Amino acid sequence: MPHKILYILWLLTVWLACACGDGLVESGASAAADTKASFDGAAPSGEVVAGCPPGFAGCQGGDRWVCDDQGNGFVKQPCSTGTICSEGLCAACAADHPCPDGQACVGGQCQVAPLEVVTKTLPDALVSQAYTAQLQGKGGVPPYGWKVSQGALPAGIVLADSGAFSGAATGNGSFSFQVELHDSAGKTASQILLLEVKAGGLVITSTSPLNPATEGEAYTSQLAAQGGVAPYYWGIAGGKLPKGLGLGSDGAITGPPSEDGDFTFTVKVFDNGSPPLTAQKELLLPIKLAPLQIVGAQELNLIITKIIVLPLIIVVDKVPVPYSAKLEAKGGKKPYSWSETPLPSIVKNFLPKSGIPTGLTLAKDGTLGGAVSDASLVFELKVPLSQITLKGFFFAAQVSDSQSKPATQQALFIIPTVPVGN
Protein backbone atom coordinates (compact mmCIF):
# COMPACT_ATOMS: atom_id res chain seq x y z
CA MET A 1 0.00 0.00 0.00
CA PRO A 2 1.61 3.32 -1.00
CA HIS A 3 2.87 5.20 2.02
CA LYS A 4 1.14 8.45 1.01
CA ILE A 5 -2.22 6.67 0.70
CA LEU A 6 -1.68 5.40 4.26
CA TYR A 7 -1.28 9.02 5.34
CA ILE A 8 -4.53 9.85 3.57
CA LEU A 9 -6.16 6.94 5.37
CA TRP A 10 -4.97 8.23 8.72
CA LEU A 11 -6.23 11.73 7.97
CA LEU A 12 -9.63 10.47 6.83
CA THR A 13 -9.84 8.36 9.98
CA VAL A 14 -9.38 11.47 12.12
CA TRP A 15 -11.96 13.39 10.07
CA LEU A 16 -14.56 10.71 10.29
CA ALA A 17 -13.98 10.15 13.98
CA CYS A 18 -15.20 13.71 14.39
CA ALA A 19 -18.15 13.49 11.99
CA CYS A 20 -21.51 13.56 13.73
CA GLY A 21 -23.39 10.26 13.44
CA ASP A 22 -22.42 9.44 9.86
CA GLY A 23 -22.26 5.74 10.67
CA LEU A 24 -18.99 5.22 8.81
CA VAL A 25 -16.81 4.10 11.75
CA GLU A 26 -16.58 0.31 11.78
CA SER A 27 -17.71 -1.78 14.72
CA GLY A 28 -15.04 -2.05 17.38
CA ALA A 29 -14.08 1.57 16.88
CA SER A 30 -17.39 3.16 17.84
CA ALA A 31 -16.49 3.41 21.51
CA ALA A 32 -13.24 5.12 20.68
CA ALA A 33 -15.10 7.53 18.42
CA ASP A 34 -16.43 9.26 21.52
CA THR A 35 -12.90 10.22 22.62
CA LYS A 36 -11.15 13.43 21.65
CA ALA A 37 -9.91 13.33 18.03
CA SER A 38 -8.61 16.82 17.47
CA PHE A 39 -4.91 15.79 17.30
CA ASP A 40 -4.01 19.25 18.59
CA GLY A 41 -1.34 17.97 20.95
CA ALA A 42 -3.49 18.72 24.00
CA ALA A 43 -4.67 15.14 24.60
CA PRO A 44 -3.00 13.44 27.59
CA SER A 45 -0.46 10.71 26.84
CA GLY A 46 -2.19 7.37 26.32
CA GLU A 47 -5.47 8.80 25.03
CA VAL A 48 -6.97 6.80 22.15
CA VAL A 49 -8.36 8.41 19.01
CA ALA A 50 -10.85 6.50 16.86
CA GLY A 51 -10.47 3.70 14.26
CA CYS A 52 -7.28 3.13 12.22
CA PRO A 53 -5.14 0.49 10.47
CA PRO A 54 -3.24 -1.51 13.18
CA GLY A 55 0.40 -0.54 13.51
CA PHE A 56 0.12 2.57 11.36
CA ALA A 57 1.94 5.61 12.79
CA GLY A 58 1.71 9.29 12.01
CA CYS A 59 2.70 12.68 13.38
CA GLN A 60 0.58 15.52 14.67
CA GLY A 61 1.30 18.40 17.02
CA GLY A 62 4.92 17.24 17.26
CA ASP A 63 3.87 13.91 18.77
CA ARG A 64 3.88 10.39 17.38
CA TRP A 65 0.53 8.58 17.17
CA VAL A 66 0.42 4.81 16.74
CA CYS A 67 -2.65 2.71 15.95
CA ASP A 68 -3.13 -0.07 18.50
CA ASP A 69 -3.02 -3.76 17.56
CA GLN A 70 -6.82 -4.01 17.49
CA GLY A 71 -7.23 -1.05 15.16
CA ASN A 72 -9.46 0.64 17.73
CA GLY A 73 -7.64 3.95 17.63
CA PHE A 74 -4.42 5.96 17.77
CA VAL A 75 -2.42 6.20 20.99
CA LYS A 76 -0.22 9.23 21.51
CA GLN A 77 3.45 8.36 22.08
CA PRO A 78 5.45 11.58 22.51
CA CYS A 79 8.98 11.54 21.10
CA SER A 80 11.87 11.84 23.51
CA THR A 81 13.68 15.11 24.08
CA GLY A 82 15.91 16.06 21.16
CA THR A 83 13.92 14.15 18.56
CA ILE A 84 10.97 15.06 16.36
CA CYS A 85 8.19 13.07 14.75
CA SER A 86 8.68 12.72 11.00
CA GLU A 87 6.61 10.39 8.78
CA GLY A 88 5.54 8.33 11.76
CA LEU A 89 9.01 7.94 13.30
CA CYS A 90 10.85 9.70 16.10
CA ALA A 91 13.92 11.09 14.39
CA ALA A 92 16.78 13.46 15.04
CA CYS A 93 16.29 15.27 11.73
CA ALA A 94 13.91 15.71 8.80
CA ALA A 95 13.50 17.84 5.67
CA ASP A 96 12.09 20.74 7.70
CA HIS A 97 14.40 20.10 10.67
CA PRO A 98 17.91 19.89 9.14
CA CYS A 99 21.10 18.75 10.82
CA PRO A 100 23.83 21.19 11.89
CA ASP A 101 26.24 22.39 9.22
CA GLY A 102 28.56 19.67 7.96
CA GLN A 103 26.16 16.86 8.82
CA ALA A 104 23.73 14.95 6.64
CA CYS A 105 20.33 13.54 7.59
CA VAL A 106 20.48 9.80 6.86
CA GLY A 107 17.49 7.68 7.88
CA GLY A 108 16.37 10.31 10.37
CA GLN A 109 19.79 10.48 12.07
CA CYS A 110 22.42 13.21 11.80
CA GLN A 111 25.68 11.85 10.46
CA VAL A 112 28.89 13.59 9.51
CA ALA A 113 29.05 13.67 5.70
CA PRO A 114 32.35 12.61 4.08
CA LEU A 115 34.82 15.46 3.66
CA GLU A 116 35.16 16.47 0.01
CA VAL A 117 36.88 19.13 -2.10
CA VAL A 118 34.15 20.61 -4.30
CA THR A 119 36.42 22.77 -6.50
CA LYS A 120 37.65 20.82 -9.53
CA THR A 121 38.88 23.65 -11.82
CA LEU A 122 40.37 27.11 -11.37
CA PRO A 123 39.99 30.22 -13.55
CA ASP A 124 42.97 31.23 -15.68
CA ALA A 125 45.27 34.04 -14.56
CA LEU A 126 47.18 36.81 -16.37
CA VAL A 127 50.77 37.79 -15.62
CA SER A 128 50.96 40.85 -13.33
CA GLN A 129 47.15 40.99 -13.03
CA ALA A 130 45.45 40.62 -9.64
CA TYR A 131 44.13 37.07 -9.21
CA THR A 132 41.44 35.79 -6.85
CA ALA A 133 39.68 32.44 -6.50
CA GLN A 134 38.01 30.61 -3.62
CA LEU A 135 38.25 26.89 -2.90
CA GLN A 136 35.05 25.15 -1.77
CA GLY A 137 34.63 22.07 0.40
CA LYS A 138 31.75 20.21 1.98
CA GLY A 139 31.07 17.55 4.61
CA GLY A 140 33.22 16.85 7.62
CA VAL A 141 33.14 19.12 10.65
CA PRO A 142 33.70 22.84 9.89
CA PRO A 143 35.62 25.09 10.20
CA TYR A 144 37.99 24.06 7.42
CA GLY A 145 41.64 24.72 6.66
CA TRP A 146 43.50 24.54 3.33
CA LYS A 147 47.10 24.11 2.17
CA VAL A 148 49.11 23.10 -0.90
CA SER A 149 50.27 19.53 -0.16
CA GLN A 150 52.16 18.79 -3.41
CA GLY A 151 53.58 20.89 -6.22
CA ALA A 152 53.84 24.67 -6.16
CA LEU A 153 51.74 27.70 -6.97
CA PRO A 154 52.85 30.26 -9.56
CA ALA A 155 55.29 32.78 -8.08
CA GLY A 156 53.33 35.75 -6.73
CA ILE A 157 50.14 33.80 -5.87
CA VAL A 158 49.44 32.45 -2.38
CA LEU A 159 46.76 30.26 -0.82
CA ALA A 160 45.37 31.32 2.56
CA ASP A 161 44.18 28.87 5.22
CA SER A 162 40.64 30.01 4.36
CA GLY A 163 41.00 28.57 0.83
CA ALA A 164 41.33 31.98 -0.88
CA PHE A 165 43.91 32.48 -3.64
CA SER A 166 45.32 36.00 -4.00
CA GLY A 167 48.23 37.89 -5.53
CA ALA A 168 49.56 38.40 -9.05
CA ALA A 169 51.59 35.85 -11.00
CA THR A 170 55.03 37.00 -12.09
CA GLY A 171 55.46 34.52 -14.94
CA ASN A 172 53.32 32.57 -17.35
CA GLY A 173 52.92 28.79 -17.68
CA SER A 174 50.84 25.82 -16.55
CA PHE A 175 51.06 25.00 -12.84
CA SER A 176 49.76 21.70 -11.43
CA PHE A 177 49.53 21.22 -7.66
CA GLN A 178 47.52 19.38 -5.04
CA VAL A 179 45.46 21.13 -2.38
CA GLU A 180 44.52 19.50 0.89
CA LEU A 181 41.39 20.25 2.89
CA HIS A 182 41.26 19.42 6.59
CA ASP A 183 38.36 19.80 9.01
CA SER A 184 38.27 20.38 12.78
CA ALA A 185 37.96 16.62 13.41
CA GLY A 186 41.29 15.93 11.70
CA LYS A 187 39.86 14.41 8.52
CA THR A 188 41.48 15.31 5.19
CA ALA A 189 40.58 15.34 1.49
CA SER A 190 42.66 16.38 -1.50
CA GLN A 191 42.30 17.45 -5.13
CA ILE A 192 44.82 18.03 -7.95
CA LEU A 193 44.25 21.40 -9.68
CA LEU A 194 45.70 23.15 -12.72
CA LEU A 195 46.26 26.91 -12.91
CA GLU A 196 47.00 28.40 -16.33
CA VAL A 197 48.86 31.74 -16.28
CA LYS A 198 48.92 33.59 -19.59
CA ALA A 199 51.43 36.28 -20.56
CA GLY A 200 48.75 38.80 -21.50
CA GLY A 201 45.59 39.37 -23.45
CA LEU A 202 42.09 38.45 -22.38
CA VAL A 203 40.96 35.39 -20.37
CA ILE A 204 37.58 34.02 -19.33
CA THR A 205 37.66 33.47 -15.58
CA SER A 206 34.35 31.61 -15.24
CA THR A 207 34.94 27.98 -14.29
CA SER A 208 33.21 24.92 -15.69
CA PRO A 209 30.80 23.42 -14.82
CA LEU A 210 28.61 26.44 -14.17
CA ASN A 211 26.24 26.43 -11.23
CA PRO A 212 23.54 23.83 -11.98
CA ALA A 213 20.04 24.88 -13.03
CA THR A 214 16.68 23.22 -12.45
CA GLU A 215 14.23 22.72 -15.29
CA GLY A 216 11.33 25.17 -15.13
CA GLU A 217 12.92 27.39 -12.47
CA ALA A 218 14.44 30.85 -12.94
CA TYR A 219 18.20 30.76 -13.45
CA THR A 220 20.97 33.37 -13.57
CA SER A 221 24.71 32.93 -14.02
CA GLN A 222 27.13 35.78 -14.71
CA LEU A 223 30.15 35.04 -16.90
CA ALA A 224 33.38 36.87 -16.07
CA ALA A 225 36.60 37.81 -17.88
CA GLN A 226 39.86 39.57 -17.09
CA GLY A 227 42.37 41.58 -19.09
CA GLY A 228 41.99 43.76 -22.15
CA VAL A 229 39.82 46.87 -21.99
CA ALA A 230 36.41 46.75 -20.30
CA PRO A 231 33.50 46.60 -20.97
CA TYR A 232 33.28 43.09 -22.43
CA TYR A 233 30.81 41.71 -24.98
CA TRP A 234 29.70 38.07 -24.99
CA GLY A 235 28.29 35.60 -27.49
CA ILE A 236 27.99 31.89 -28.27
CA ALA A 237 30.83 30.58 -30.47
CA GLY A 238 29.78 26.92 -30.62
CA GLY A 239 27.08 24.57 -29.44
CA LYS A 240 23.89 25.99 -27.99
CA LEU A 241 22.29 26.90 -24.70
CA PRO A 242 19.47 24.75 -23.32
CA LYS A 243 15.99 25.77 -24.45
CA GLY A 244 14.61 28.60 -22.36
CA LEU A 245 18.01 30.16 -21.57
CA GLY A 246 19.67 33.10 -23.26
CA LEU A 247 23.09 34.77 -23.10
CA GLY A 248 23.07 38.57 -22.94
CA SER A 249 25.87 40.68 -24.38
CA ASP A 250 26.79 41.52 -20.77
CA GLY A 251 27.57 37.84 -20.07
CA ALA A 252 24.44 37.04 -18.05
CA ILE A 253 22.83 33.65 -18.71
CA THR A 254 19.20 33.92 -17.69
CA GLY A 255 15.80 32.28 -18.06
CA PRO A 256 13.94 29.19 -16.92
CA PRO A 257 15.37 26.15 -18.80
CA SER A 258 12.74 23.92 -20.40
CA GLU A 259 14.86 20.77 -20.80
CA ASP A 260 17.21 18.75 -18.65
CA GLY A 261 20.63 17.17 -19.08
CA ASP A 262 24.26 18.25 -19.37
CA PHE A 263 24.77 20.96 -22.01
CA THR A 264 28.18 21.86 -23.42
CA PHE A 265 28.69 25.09 -25.37
CA THR A 266 31.51 27.52 -26.15
CA VAL A 267 31.34 31.20 -25.20
CA LYS A 268 33.38 33.98 -26.76
CA VAL A 269 34.19 37.35 -25.27
CA PHE A 270 35.40 40.57 -26.94
CA ASP A 271 36.98 43.49 -25.13
CA ASN A 272 36.61 47.18 -25.98
CA GLY A 273 40.13 47.65 -27.36
CA SER A 274 41.11 48.63 -30.90
CA PRO A 275 41.56 46.11 -32.34
CA PRO A 276 39.50 44.08 -29.84
CA LEU A 277 41.00 41.14 -27.99
CA THR A 278 39.03 37.88 -27.90
CA ALA A 279 38.93 34.73 -25.79
CA GLN A 280 36.73 31.69 -25.82
CA LYS A 281 36.07 28.79 -23.48
CA GLU A 282 33.98 25.61 -23.43
CA LEU A 283 31.54 25.46 -20.53
CA LEU A 284 29.29 22.78 -19.11
CA LEU A 285 25.87 23.62 -17.68
CA PRO A 286 24.08 20.79 -15.85
CA ILE A 287 20.28 21.04 -15.64
CA LYS A 288 18.47 18.74 -13.26
CA LEU A 289 14.83 17.75 -13.12
CA ALA A 290 12.64 19.28 -10.45
CA PRO A 291 10.82 16.70 -8.28
CA LEU A 292 7.53 15.52 -9.76
CA GLN A 293 4.57 17.10 -7.93
CA ILE A 294 0.82 17.15 -8.37
CA VAL A 295 -0.46 20.71 -8.03
CA GLY A 296 -3.72 22.56 -8.25
CA ALA A 297 -5.11 26.07 -8.32
CA GLN A 298 -6.71 25.34 -4.95
CA GLU A 299 -5.17 22.94 -2.48
CA LEU A 300 -6.29 22.05 1.01
CA ASN A 301 -3.27 21.25 3.15
CA LEU A 302 -4.61 19.05 5.91
CA ILE A 303 -2.00 17.96 8.45
CA ILE A 304 0.36 15.78 6.37
CA THR A 305 -1.44 15.46 3.06
CA LYS A 306 -3.41 17.62 0.71
CA ILE A 307 -6.55 17.43 -1.37
CA ILE A 308 -6.54 19.01 -4.81
CA VAL A 309 -9.75 20.96 -5.33
CA LEU A 310 -10.90 20.94 -8.95
CA PRO A 311 -13.34 23.44 -10.51
CA LEU A 312 -16.92 23.34 -9.28
CA ILE A 313 -19.30 20.94 -11.01
CA ILE A 314 -23.03 21.54 -11.42
CA VAL A 315 -25.03 18.37 -10.96
CA VAL A 316 -28.70 18.25 -11.89
CA ASP A 317 -30.20 14.79 -11.42
CA LYS A 318 -30.93 13.16 -14.80
CA VAL A 319 -29.78 16.28 -16.68
CA PRO A 320 -26.25 15.97 -18.19
CA VAL A 321 -24.32 19.20 -17.62
CA PRO A 322 -20.98 19.43 -19.47
CA TYR A 323 -17.83 19.58 -17.30
CA SER A 324 -14.13 19.99 -18.08
CA ALA A 325 -11.04 20.28 -15.88
CA LYS A 326 -7.32 19.56 -16.20
CA LEU A 327 -5.22 17.73 -13.62
CA GLU A 328 -1.87 19.48 -13.29
CA ALA A 329 1.65 18.48 -12.31
CA LYS A 330 5.08 20.07 -12.40
CA GLY A 331 8.65 18.85 -12.32
CA GLY A 332 9.74 15.46 -13.59
CA LYS A 333 10.11 14.86 -17.32
CA LYS A 334 7.29 15.75 -19.68
CA PRO A 335 5.02 14.48 -21.14
CA TYR A 336 3.01 13.13 -18.23
CA SER A 337 0.64 10.19 -18.15
CA TRP A 338 -2.42 10.28 -15.88
CA SER A 339 -4.68 7.50 -14.66
CA GLU A 340 -7.26 6.98 -11.95
CA THR A 341 -5.95 4.83 -9.13
CA PRO A 342 -8.29 2.96 -6.79
CA LEU A 343 -8.30 3.78 -3.13
CA PRO A 344 -7.27 0.80 -0.96
CA SER A 345 -10.27 -1.19 0.27
CA ILE A 346 -9.76 -0.01 3.85
CA VAL A 347 -10.04 3.59 2.68
CA LYS A 348 -13.24 2.76 0.83
CA ASN A 349 -14.71 1.80 4.19
CA PHE A 350 -14.38 5.44 5.16
CA LEU A 351 -15.21 6.86 1.74
CA PRO A 352 -17.93 4.50 0.50
CA LYS A 353 -18.77 6.90 -2.32
CA SER A 354 -15.59 7.52 -4.27
CA GLY A 355 -14.23 7.36 -7.78
CA ILE A 356 -14.62 9.45 -10.92
CA PRO A 357 -18.41 9.63 -11.40
CA THR A 358 -20.15 7.96 -14.32
CA GLY A 359 -20.17 10.31 -17.29
CA LEU A 360 -16.66 11.71 -16.72
CA THR A 361 -13.46 10.25 -18.12
CA LEU A 362 -9.83 10.98 -17.31
CA ALA A 363 -7.63 11.19 -20.41
CA LYS A 364 -3.94 10.26 -20.40
CA ASP A 365 -3.00 13.96 -20.65
CA GLY A 366 -4.91 14.74 -17.43
CA THR A 367 -8.06 16.16 -19.06
CA LEU A 368 -11.15 15.28 -17.06
CA GLY A 369 -14.31 15.79 -19.09
CA GLY A 370 -17.83 14.67 -19.88
CA ALA A 371 -21.17 15.22 -18.21
CA VAL A 372 -22.66 13.98 -14.93
CA SER A 373 -26.36 13.43 -14.41
CA ASP A 374 -26.27 11.14 -11.35
CA ALA A 375 -25.87 12.86 -7.98
CA SER A 376 -25.84 9.59 -6.01
CA LEU A 377 -22.03 9.58 -5.67
CA VAL A 378 -21.90 13.01 -4.02
CA PHE A 379 -20.39 12.68 -0.54
CA GLU A 380 -20.25 15.31 2.21
CA LEU A 381 -17.41 15.48 4.71
CA LYS A 382 -17.04 18.04 7.50
CA VAL A 383 -13.42 18.84 8.35
CA PRO A 384 -13.05 19.18 12.14
CA LEU A 385 -11.34 22.19 13.69
CA SER A 386 -12.33 24.29 10.67
CA GLN A 387 -15.39 25.70 8.97
CA ILE A 388 -14.73 23.72 5.80
CA THR A 389 -17.26 21.27 4.44
CA LEU A 390 -16.20 19.13 1.51
CA LYS A 391 -19.08 18.03 -0.66
CA GLY A 392 -18.65 16.45 -4.05
CA PHE A 393 -16.96 13.56 -5.82
CA PHE A 394 -13.74 12.14 -4.31
CA PHE A 395 -11.21 10.13 -6.30
CA ALA A 396 -7.49 9.33 -6.40
CA ALA A 397 -5.27 9.73 -9.45
CA GLN A 398 -1.68 9.00 -10.34
CA VAL A 399 0.71 10.81 -12.65
CA SER A 400 3.84 9.26 -14.20
CA ASP A 401 6.56 11.16 -16.03
CA SER A 402 8.64 10.12 -19.07
CA GLN A 403 11.95 9.17 -17.46
CA SER A 404 13.35 5.75 -18.35
CA LYS A 405 12.33 4.78 -14.83
CA PRO A 406 9.19 6.91 -14.45
CA ALA A 407 8.66 8.94 -11.32
CA THR A 408 5.10 8.71 -10.02
CA GLN A 409 2.94 10.69 -7.61
CA GLN A 410 -0.57 10.09 -6.28
CA ALA A 411 -3.05 12.55 -4.85
CA LEU A 412 -6.60 12.73 -3.59
CA PHE A 413 -8.95 14.98 -5.58
CA ILE A 414 -12.40 16.42 -5.04
CA ILE A 415 -14.76 17.70 -7.70
CA PRO A 416 -16.84 19.97 -5.46
CA THR A 417 -20.54 20.42 -5.91
CA VAL A 418 -20.55 23.38 -3.53
CA PRO A 419 -17.86 26.08 -3.18
CA VAL A 420 -14.93 25.09 -0.96
CA GLY A 421 -13.66 27.73 1.44
CA ASN A 422 -13.38 28.82 5.03
Q: What is the CATH number of the domain that holds 170?
A: 2.60.40.10
DSSP label of 272: S
- In terms of DSSP bridges, do strands 360-362 and 367-372 run parallel, antiparallel, or are they unpaired? antiparallel
Are residues 273 and 306 located together in one domain of the fold?
no
Are residues 276 and 302 located together in one domain of the fold?
no
Tally of structural domains, the chain? 4
* Assigned domain for 371 exists: yes
Please, which residues bridge with residue 6 across strands? none
* Assigned domain for 109 exists: no
Are residues 270 and 298 located together in one domain of the fold?
no
* Assigned domain for 94 exists: no
For 225-259, write each residue's pLDDT tens digit.
999 999 999 999 999 999 999 999 999 999 999 99
Q: Taking the model in full, what pTM does it have? A: 0.65
Are residues 317 and 408 located together in one domain of the fold?
yes
For 308-343, write each residue's pLDDT tens digit.
999 999 988 888 889 999 999 999 999 999 999 987
Among 78, 104, 124, which residue terminates a domain?
78
For 33-83, write each residue's pLDDT tens digit.
322 233 333 333 344 444 567 777 777 767 788 888 887 777 888 888 888
Q: What is the DSSP string of 323-373?
A: EEEE-EEESSSSSPEEEE-PPPHHHHTT-SS-SSPTTEEE-TTSEEEEEE-
Task: Evaluate if residue 411 carries a pLDDT over 70.
Answer: yes
Q: What is the CATH number of the domain that holds 388?
A: 2.60.40
Are residues 242 and 183 located together in one domain of the fold?
no
Enclosing domain of residue 146: 116-200
